Chain A
C-alpha cells in the first residue's frame, strides 16, 4: 500500500472497447471500475429523479470526482471508464492531480475510426443487453469523437482500438506494469 495509488482512466468513443478493457484490467489488477453510465442510470432510476429535469450525468460526474478523491486519499486505486470527450472532464482530472500529488495517473485513449465505432455499437445493440446507445444516437455525440481526434491531450497515451482485443489489452497492461509496482 506504500506505492502511490493508481488512477487509471480508460477513454475513447462509444464502441471503442472501453468497458471490455476496463473490466478486464479491473479483474487483473484488482481495482474497482467506475462507469459514469452506470452511476447516471442509478441516479435516474432512483425515487424522485425519474421526473426530474436534472441531467443525471452532471450529478454522476460530481459524485465520481468526490468519490475518487476519497478513495485515492485512502491510498487505494481505481479505474475510470469514461469517453473523455469533454474538456471539463480533463479539467477535473487535472484539479484532482494538483490536489493529490501522490497518485499514479495513467490515461489511455482508445483510438477508433467513427464508422468502426458505429458498426460496433450497432452489433452490440442486437444483443439483448442493457446498452441503450444505438448507432443513430452516436451522430449526436460525434463532437466527443471530434474532441478526442482534434486535441493533442498530452496526458494520454493513445492505443489503436481496431487491433484485436488481446493486443489492446497487452499493450495497456504492459504500460501499466512499466509505470510502477502494483498491488497484486
Chain B
C-alpha cells in the first residue's frame, strides 16, 4: 500500500492545528486532531478538572491511533495531529509504519519557549478555547512544560520536516506544502515507487 501518515507534532500552542488543517486541505488528506476528539468527549462527558482533561487526552490519543489505523489499512493517507511525546509515541508510530506498510512523515512545529507560553496564555484566556482543557487555571504547569525541549518524533533521515513558527506571519503554507510533497515523494522512491506504478487489481 502507498498510503502516507503525516504526523503533526510539537508543544502546545506551537501552531500544530493551524498547520495540520492547511496541510490536510492542500494534500486532500483527512485531518484527525486530538483536541477536536477531546472536546467532543468534554461535550459528552462534561468538563471537570485538569486531571480529567489529562484522562480524556489519553483516551483521545488512543482513538487517534485507532482512526489512523483504519485509514491506513484502507490504503488511505491521513494527517494526525497531537502534542505527541517522543518517548511515548515514537515506537507506536514506527510500529504502524511496519504493520500497515505506510510511509510516515513527521511535521514538527516549534517556536521559542517565551513565544509559546505567551500564545498559550492568550489562548487560555480567550473565548475560543474549550473550558474543558482547564488551561487557564494551570498556567504554571504549562510554563514549566513549555520551557523544556519538545523533540520531534522522527529523525531527519526517517522523514522529518521542521517548522519554526516563532514568527507565524512569515510562514508560507505553499512552501511548507511543497516541502512536504517532496519528502513524501522521496520516501516513496525507496522501493514503493514500483508499487505506485502497479495497476490496481
Contacts and interface: CB of A to CB of B under 8 A. Distances in A.
Interface stretch (A62-70, A106-114, A155-163, A170-178): A62-70
Q: Chain A CB within 10 Å — which of B29, B30, B66 has the most?
A: B30
A47 B36 contact: no
B55 A49 contact: yes
Contacts of A49: 55, 59
Contact size class for A?
20 to 34
B34 to A, nearest CB: 12
The B interface, classified by DSSP as helix, strand, loop or mixed, is helix
Interface string B12-56: 000000000000110011111000110011011100000010011
Given A32-B71, A32-B76, A62-B40, A43 B31 contact: no
Given A62-B43, A63-B37, A39 B74 contact: no
Contacts of B59: 42-43, 46-49
Interface in A48-62: 48-49, 54, 58-59, 62
B36 A66 contact: yes
Nearest to B69: A32
Given A32-B71, A58-B44, 5 more contacts: A48-B59, A67-B32, A74-B24, A74-B29, A76-B28
